[in-house]
């Protein structure tokens, strides 16, 4: 997986500008992902690339279009120091894995990384960076691929605490 590095406070307008919110088609949205923010992403992103960022990734409006645009571009994992809460949930809901890594800023742009969810780390340049596990019920949504697939197979409603949201 190749890294696309971003800083703090990347808002949803930077991920997908508001003027392109006329569709929910991930492939169409991907054509404009990071337009005006990092234009080379439009030309060079490959299936399997990941986003690495700083604090408060996905802040701003609560649009599902942002993680959908990333999904359409082939990004299935976003690793950051912290997420805006609504982006975190929207990402899970559409099938993009949000990963919290307190050392995300130490991962360089353009490098290849390996994410080992079960062991709880990201490996880059021979170094390992610890990642936080997703709460159990959220992991179920991730494993199902997205929220609707998870809900279709749900036999009982999971109980969670406010801190897990």
Q: For residue 155, tell me if it sits in a domain.
A: no
Q: Which domain holds residue 109?
A: 3-132
Number of residues that make up the chain: 165
- pLDDT band at residue 75, thresholds of 50, 70 and 90? very high
Q: For residue 161, tell me if it sits in a domain.
A: no
Q: For residue 151, tell me if it sits in a domain.
A: no
Q: What total number of domains does the chain contain?
A: 1
- pLDDT band at residue 161, thresholds of 50, 70 and 90? low
Q: For residue 46, tell me if it sits in a domain.
A: yes
Q: Is 17 exposed, middle or buried (0-12, 13-18, 19+ CB in 10 A)?
A: middle
Distance CA 72, CA 127 (A): 30
pLDDT tens for 46-59 read 999 999 999 999 99
Q: For residue 119, tell me if it sits in a domain.
A: yes
Q: What is the mean pLDDT of residues 98-120?
A: 93
Evaluate whether 16 touches 73 at the Cβ level (below 8 Å): no
Query: Is 86 a residue whose pLDDT tops 70?
Result: yes
Q: For residue 157, tell me if it sits in a domain.
A: no
State residue 154's pLDDT score.
67
| CATH code of the domain in which 32 resides | 3.20.19.10
Kindly report which listed range (73-82, 86-95, 106-115) carries the lowest average pLDDT score. Answer: 86-95
Whole-angstrom CA distances from 55 to 11, 58, 85, 86, 144 are: 11, 9, 12, 14, 27
Q: For residue 99, tell me if it sits in a domain.
A: yes
State residue 45's pLDDT score.
95
> Model's pTM, two decimal places?
0.85
Q: For residue 95, tell me if it sits in a domain.
A: yes
């Amino acid at each position: 997986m190749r890294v696309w590095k971003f800083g703090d406070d990347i808002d949803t307008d930077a991920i997908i500008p508001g003027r392109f919110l006329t569709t929910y088609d991930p492939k169409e949205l991907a054509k404009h992902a990071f337009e005006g923010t990092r234009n080379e992403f439009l030309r060079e992103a490959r299936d399997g690339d990941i986003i690495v960022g700083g604090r408060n990734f996905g802040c701003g409006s609560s649009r599902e279009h942002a993680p959908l645009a990333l999904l359409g571009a082939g990004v299935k994992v976003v690793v950051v120091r912290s997420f805006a809460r609504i982006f975190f949930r929207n990402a899970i809901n559409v099938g993009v894995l949000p990963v919290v890594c307190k050392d995300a800023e130490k991962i360089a742009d353009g490098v290849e990384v390996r994410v080992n969810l079960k062991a709880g780390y990201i490996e880059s340049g021979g170094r390992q960076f610890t990642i936080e596990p997703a709460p159990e019920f959220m992991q179920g949504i991730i494993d199902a691929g997205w929220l609707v697939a998870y809900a279709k197979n749900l036999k009982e409603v999971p109980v969670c605490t406010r801190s897990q949201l």
